């Protein structure tokens, strides 16, 4: 692949990522229903401790952390869109 083709591929990938960031923003911040859904998901899977049990249940803790990471991913996409919009 030539240098100009590589640059074009990188730019296309960056544009696709930016478009996806905008979609996340539109769904979860651009519509009142999306805001409510994200708030509910955050309440269920983010606003809690990931550590489960005493002694610690490693499997349940990993499940909780995985659920939390989905919310972090969504919030990260929204934040990146807002930062790039400035």
- Number of compact structural domains in the chain: 1
- pTM, to two decimals: 0.87
Contact predicate 68/45, CB 8 Å? yes
DSSP state string for 54-73: TTT-HHHHHHHHHHHHHHHH
Q: What is the pLDDT of residues 17-76, one digit of tens each?
A: 999 999 999 999 999 999 999 999 999 999 988 899 889 999 999 999 999 999 999 999
Contact predicate 74/24, CB 8 Å? yes
- The whole domain housing 72 covers 3-85
Residue 1's pLDDT is 65
Residue 3's pLDDT is 86
Instruction: Quote the tokens at residue 57.
Output: 């249940």
Distances (CA, A) of 61 to 36, 42, 69, 84: 26, 17, 12, 34
Residue 66's pLDDT is 95
Instruction: Quote the tokens at residue 64.
Output: 């909780």
Helix (H, G, I), strand (E, B) or coil at 31: coil
Contact predicate 72/16, CB 8 Å? no
Residue 2's pLDDT is 84
Residue 14's pLDDT is 95
Residue 49's pLDDT is 87
């Amino acid at each position: 692949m030539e240098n100009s083709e590589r640059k074009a591929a990188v730019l296309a990938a960056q544009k696709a990522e930016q478009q996806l960031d905008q979609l996340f923003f539109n769904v979860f911040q651009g519509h009142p229903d999306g805001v409510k859904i994200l708030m509910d998901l955050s309440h269920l899977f983010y606003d809690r401790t990931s550590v489960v049990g005493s002694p610690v249940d490693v499997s349940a803790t990993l499940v909780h952390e995985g659920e939390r990471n989905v919310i972090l991913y969504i919030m990260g996409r929204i934040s990146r869109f807002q930062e790039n919009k400035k």
